[in-house]
Amino acid sequence: MACIGFIACEKEDDTEPTTPVANNNGGGNTGGGNAPNQNFYITGKQNGTTFLSTDDPQFTYAKYQDVFGIGNHQLIGTGDTLGAASMIFQTRNGNGFAGVGRYDFTSMADLSLSWIPGNRNVTYNADGRKFGDGWVDGFVDVTFYDSTIIEGTFAFKAVNPDWSDPQNPDYSDSVRITDGRFRLQYR
């Protein structure tokens, strides 16, 4: 299981993320746009290879939980052989996730994007600290939110650090996620 984020097995260049094609479903219409043929999903391209989450509410969903006053919106999509995707938006002291809008590492320190590939026991992630160090980039655009459904687009670069040298970890193992779209139901 993971939260929206993505992972890959090969290295890629440092180009900027591709702006995903918006899903124009209007928050309730599951047809049209570039949406997959399922009601709820996370989809995108991991280093150019398409990922689509399972069409099963046990494995593809959104959830909200409040832990000691910190609100967490977690978007989860477990999928095919490419693995799982995860995104977490946090709200602290009234700051953070606020519904429809763009979320990136420059405007939201509490954004976390991750991916676990199906064929590896690693997690690639992107967060504010890694962004500040220049290792990752990316954004999530929430285009619809009503506390039961959340929908949007995303693109980012995430890394899997090699901690063999704890003072200077190597971040060369990375993945680029492009053309990301999601439509999930809260449970």
pLDDT tens-digit map of 64-92: 998 888 888 889 888 766 678 888 877 77
| Amino acid at site 109 | A
Q: What pLDDT, in 10s, does the model give residues 88-144?
A: 877 776 778 888 999 887 776 667 788 777 666 778 888 777 777 788 888 999 999
Which DSSP string do the residues of 22-88 spell out, in sequence order?
Answer: P---TTT--SSTT--SSSSEEEEEETTEEEEB-S-TTTEEEEEEEETTEEEEEEEEEBSTT-EEEEE
- Domain spans, the chain: 41-185
Output the pTM of the full model: 0.74
Dmax over CA atoms of the chain, in Å, equals: 50
Nearest of 99, 97, 34, 87 to residue 62 by alpha carbon? 87
Half-sphere exposure in the Cβ direction for 93 (13 Å, CA): 1
The residue behind tokens 């990136």 is 104
